[in-house]
Amino acid sequence: DAGVIQSPRHEVTEMGQEVTLRCKPISGHNSLFWYRQTMMRGLELLIYFNNNVPIDDSGMPEDRFSAKMPNASFSTLKIQPSEPRDSAVYFCASSLRGRQSYGYTFGSGTRLTVV
Amino acid sequence: SQQGEEDPQALSIQEGENATMNCSYKTSINNLQWYRQNSGRGLVHLILIRSNEREKHSGRLRVTLDTSKKSSSLLITASRAADTASYFCATPLSGGYNKLIFGAGTRLAVHP
C-alpha cells in the first residue's frame, strides 16, 4: 500500500481564492481525519469521517471550511475564500476503527500558503 | 484545550545517550499513543499502549503508562542522529470514534 496520499504537496494562493486539498486514505481504513498544524496552535483536529459519514466537524474554524468524503477512497477539504491566517500544513490521516484501537497513518501533508 | 502535554518542550542529547519524554493527560483514556514527526513530514505512529498495560517495548523504544497519575513516558535508548524529530503523545477523547488529540510535542535533537 502506498500509504495515505495527499495532494498537492505545496499550494500557494492569493487571498480570496478557493483552495481544495485532496486525500486518498489507506484501502480498508474506515476512519479519516483532517488536521491542521501551525507553530502557534500545534495539531488541531478539523473534522473526521467514519464510513464516509462526517462524525464531528466541531474543529472546522469557520464556514469558509468544508470537507467531503464521497466514497471510501477519496476526501477533500475546501477553503473558500482563503485568508492568510489559513496558512498551515494540512494533514489527512486514516485509521481502522473497530473494537480495538489502532494508530493513525498520516499523509505527508499539504503546505498551504495564502498571500 | 489540549488533552496531552509533553515535557520537556525540547531536548538535546549526544548520540548513544538515552532520551526520556513525558506526557500528561487530563481525562480517563483507553489507550495512549506516541508519534514521531521528522521535519517537513507527516506523523508516524510509533507505539500504542492500552490502559490495562503498564509498560510496552518496541525495539529501542520503551513506553510506560501510569493511569493513576495520568502520565506516560517514552524512552529512546542508545539514541542515534536519525532519532532527531518531534515526538507527540496522543490520547483519544471519549465517544468511541478513536478521535485523537495531540499534545504540543517534544523536539528532540541528537548530536553525532
Interface of B with A in 49-88 (CB under 8 A): 50, 88
Which residues from chain A sit within 8 angstroms of residue B95, using beta carbons? Answer: 56
Identify the residue with better confidence: A8 or B91.
A8
Question: If pLDDT is split at 50, 70 and 90, which confidence band does B2 have?
Answer: very low
Residue B43, chain A, CB below 8 Å: the answer is: yes
Instruction: Please tell me the predicted confidence (pLDDT) of residue A1.
Output: 65
**What percent of chain B lies above the pLDDT cut of 90?**
77
Is residue B44 over pLDDT 50? yes
Bridge-partner residues for A47, per DSSP? A34
Cell numbers given for B85: 524529530
When pLDDT is averaged across residues B2-7 and rounded to a whole number, the result is 71
Amino acid at A21: L
User: Reading across the β-sheet that carries A19-24, which strands appear in turn?
Assistant: A5-7, A19-24, A74-79, A65-71
Peptide bond connecting A54 to the previous residue in cis, omega within 30 degrees of 0:
no
- For residue B30, give how far its alpha carbon lies from the nearest alpha carbon of chain A (Å): 9
Question: If pLDDT is split at 50, 70 and 90, which confidence band does B107 have?
Answer: very high
Strand locations in B1-112 (E)? 4-7, 10-14, 19-25, 31-37, 43-50, 55-58, 61-66, 71-76, 85-92, 100-102, 106-111
Distance separating alpha carbons of residues A46 and A37, to the nearest angstrom? 10
Q: What is the 3-state secondary structure (H, E, C) of chain A?
A: CCCCEEECCEEEECCCCCEEEEEECCCCCCEEEEEEEECCCEEEEEEEEECCEEEECCCCCCCCEEEEEEECCEEEEEECCCCHHHCEEEEEEEECCCCCCCCCEECCCEEEEEC
CB contact under 8 A, A104 and B104: no
Is residue B72 over pLDDT 60? yes
How high does pLDDT run on average in chain B?
91
CB contact under 8 A, B42 and A103: no
Question: If pLDDT is split at 50, 70 and 90, which confidence band does B68 have?
Answer: very high
Q: Which residue of A has its CA nearest to B40?
A: A108
| Residue numbers of chain A with a pLDDT score lower than 70 | 1, 98-100
When pLDDT is averaged across residues B28-33 and rounded to a whole number, the result is 90
Amino acid at B58: S
CB contact under 8 A, A43 and B88: yes
- Within 8 A by CB and 6+ apart from B25, the residues are B3, B4, B5, B32, B70, B71, B72, B89, B91
Distance separating alpha carbons of residues A8 and B64, to the nearest angstrom? 38
Q: Which residue of B has its CA nearest to A102?
A: B48
Instruction: Please tell me the predicted confidence (pLDDT) of residue A98.
Output: 67
Question: If pLDDT is split at 50, 70 and 90, which confidence band does B92 have?
Answer: confident
Best of A6, A43, A91 to substitute, by most chain B Cβ atoms within 10 angstroms, is: A43
When pLDDT is averaged across residues B50-70 and rounded to a whole number, the result is 96
Backbone angles phi, psi at B43, to 5 degrees: -80, 145
Is residue B1 over pLDDT 60? no
CB contact under 8 A, B98 and A31: yes
Question: Which member of B48, B95, B102 has the closest CB to residue A101?
Answer: B48
Question: If pLDDT is split at 50, 70 and 90, which confidence band does B96 have?
Answer: low
Cell numbers given for B50: 492500552
